[in-house]
Amino acid sequence: MTSVNWKRNSWRRDDSGSSGPELSAPEVQGPSGRPVVLVTGASRGIGREVALAFARNGFDVALTARTVREGEGRVAPRTRGELIPVPGSLETTAAEVRAFGVDALAVPMDLLDGASVFAAADRVLETWGRVDVLVNNAYAQTAGNMDRLLDIELDDATAMMRGNYLHQLALIQRLLPAMVGRGSGVLINLVSGSATTDPPAAPGEGGWGLSYAASKAAFGRLAGAVNAEYRHLGVRAFNLSPGFVVTESGAARGGTDAITGSGFDAVPATVPAAAAVWLATAPGADRFLGKVVWAPKLVESIAV
């Protein structure tokens, strides 16, 4: 297993085989002197695994989600109806992060509420003074996200676009200036194949809803804009496609069997988590700028 060598304003993995991390203080640092990652949607699923993977690699972890305590988790169904209970919480993930000997900061955030997005970003910056890596994993699933085209209600489609694009943009806008000021920073956006691939079938029959796919398509353009405008100032942004991961929320909503039956092989959440850490820390990661990184293929190729 490779070690991580933290140097001034750099969070690149040292593959030299040294016995452990060597820390030197960057110009601006949090109280611990460790690099800071902010992972959104970290109460369960991919976000939880991403948070744990970064903690395992020596990062302090700020984590956001709507669910603060166990038993409070609820997700919208694929069609319309009552909210569905799901396991997982910020408190649980934060405790698991701290078990690696790093710090965790749990911050409630709802992508459908712009004020909470601004408040979450401000709290992390006020508490730790920096965010070195931002992993935009959270996404909004509103009522009607699997509606067929003629059934889509414009209010629902607008909410989906607000949560999956506009408020993701707002979070980046809040954190990017400090990264530019330091001359370093990494953004990793968890994108969806639904944004660039035609559905193999109608929603609920192995395909996905238009409103969700359209909002993720807009989200998928953010990394390219960041690289075009700020790469020369030390900020890099990646689009990471996790593969088809059956999370707790996905399993609770149902319909995943139809998707796997359409030829999409499920992968564990640990796969995109390992890919995210590699993109944030590996010297060779820059070759993936401007591309959509397919997590299963990347992890297989680097043997994480």
Nearest alpha carbon to residue 222 among 172, 178, 272: 172
3-state secondary structure of 238: strand
Residue 166 gets which letter from DSSP? I
Question: Could you read off the pLDDT of 125-166 as tens digits, one per residue?
Answer: 999 999 999 999 999 978 778 899 999 999 999 999 999 999
CB 182 within 8 A of CB 28: yes
Domain 34-302 part of CATH 3.30.450.40: no
Place of tokens 């000997």: 101
Q: How far is CA 2 from CA 15, 19, 148, 281, in A?
A: 6, 9, 47, 11
**What CA–CA distance (Å, rounded) separates 289 from 148?**
34
Helices (H), 72-153: 90-98, 114-128
Question: Could you read off the pLDDT of 47-78 as tens digits, one per residue?
Answer: 999 999 999 999 999 999 999 988 776 666 65
Place of tokens 């933290």: 6
pTM of the entire structure? 0.84
